[in-house]
Amino acid sequence: MKYLKIDNNLFIRNRKKLKNKLAKNTLAIINSNDIMPTNADGTMPFRQNNDLFWLSGVDQEESVLVIYPDNDEKEILFLKETNELIAIWEGAKLSKEEALNVSGISTVYWLSEMEEKLKELISNCDGVYLNNNIHSRAASIVETRDDRFRKEFAEKYNKEVLEVAPIMHELRSIKSEIEISLIQNACDITEKGVRRILPFIRPGVMEYEIEAELMHEFLRNRSNGFAYQPIIGSGRDSCVLHYIDNNKECKDGDILLMDFGAEYANYASDLTRTVPVNGRFSSRQKDVYNSVLYVMKEATKMLRPGTVFKEYNSEIGRIMESELIKLGLLDKHDVQKQNPKKPLYRKYFMHGTSHYLGLDVHDVGSFDWPMKEGMVFTCEPGIYILEEELGIRLENDILVAAGGPEDLMKNIPIEIEEIEDLMN
């Protein structure tokens, strides 16, 4: 892994939090992700199951974690054993000593021993927590290792199955100090990327060249690269919310919307900046930009303990309506007569303002919960005027803290003067 070793106290404390949530005399089983194939003998880069990583720090395939608080062996790792072939072709996998160093788990078995050991453990417990993906945006039809294990479990055992995913969502939504420092590191790498590309952007540059400059900066700072597919959209494509082709020439007079973030140690950052290709905002671009920036600053103030998402979104909608009226995009009389269930501002601002951030870019957590200290959210309002080929979105990552919102991207240029100075 490119990232520096993480203090294993993070994972020790995380497992303790989960143990405190499990029912008496039950155990939890969490599997790693698979290495996904491409074609022939090719594979995609490995990405660990975030629940397994959060609990153990183990970042390799074919790994299984068992947590059984009422057993003598309370925490058990099952790992892939290195043989001579693996060592030569792929490099050695974690040894038992290395696994202890990474995770703080002293009981480690090889996968070849798992079947017999699980029989013993499951025969003594009253129920088993299994994992699955219940994220509200999950749409994958690919069967995961956890999915396959669930099927095998039903065939082999007659035990009550409990769900660990809701517990993991609750626990992972609150970030510890170590997690916040890892997210901050990802944000700091993203800042380096921003400062690298702003002087590079000019008429004639290709969108993918900007993407390449960012990737260079991320990799040289111990990131594996982008936390998600980057959006580098100029002109009309600044209004396309998930434009990822990044294959056009940036032209004089156009606006350029860039939505990207570095990952670090599997933790994500998520930033959006919108800049003028030629280095100077036009009068209209400035007006729309300043409206989005105002909405962002007002929304950020509301990211504090106790805020309820329904009220948060309602207030942001009210502020956005006012800005769109000032820009001449909405008529105040039409707004007064609008259907409250279909607000007119949605024509120009059609997405949410905030989502959870952590190991996943759209991290786990419920929008029915009031905000709590330790949660991290994006703040990303936008105005998209397709008929003017002008889309402006701004986004920073915000920590909900007792003393008020803490902007983890406060050092990244966002004011018009800052942007223009760096571009010129």
Pick the closest to residue 127 from 29, 17, 18, 32 (CA basis): 29
Residues ≥6 apart with Cβ < 8 Å to 339: none
DSSP 69: T
**Identity of residue 11:** F
Catalytic (active site) residue 380: yes
Residue 282: both structure tokens together:
């036009």
Residues ≥6 apart with Cβ < 8 Å to 50: 172, 266, 359, 360
Helices then strands, each counted (H, E), the chain: 13, 16
Expressed in percent and rounded to 5, the helix, strand and coil fractions of the chain are 40, 15, 45
Contact between 22 and 15 (Cβ < 8 Å): no
Q: Catalytic residue, from 273, 323, 355, 356: name it.
A: 355
Q: How many CB atoms lie within 10 A of CB 262?
A: 30
Catalytic (active site) residue 147: no
Catalytic (active site) residue 270: yes
Contact between 397 and 187 (Cβ < 8 Å): yes
Q: Catalytic residue, from 34, 51, 75, 380: name it.
A: 380
Residue 194: both structure tokens together:
């921003």
Q: Catalytic residue, from 51, 191, 217, 270: name it.
A: 270
Q: Catalytic residue, from 195, 362, 388, 420: name it.
A: 362
CA 157 to centroid of chain Cα atoms:
35
Length of the chain: 424
Q: Catalytic residue, from 242, 333, 387, 417: name it.
A: 242
Name the residue with tokens 């009253």.
126
Catalytic (active site) residue 169: no
Catalytic (active site) residue 216: no
Catalytic (active site) residue 41: yes
Catalytic (active site) residue 351: yes
The Cα–Cα gap between 322 and 316 comes to 10
Catalytic (active site) residue 267: no
Contact between 44 and 38 (Cβ < 8 Å): yes
Q: Catalytic residue, from 120, 334, 351, 421: name it.
A: 351
Catalytic (active site) residue 333: no
**Identity of residue 134:** I
Residues with catalytic roles: 41, 242, 259, 270, 351, 355, 362, 380, 384, 393, 395
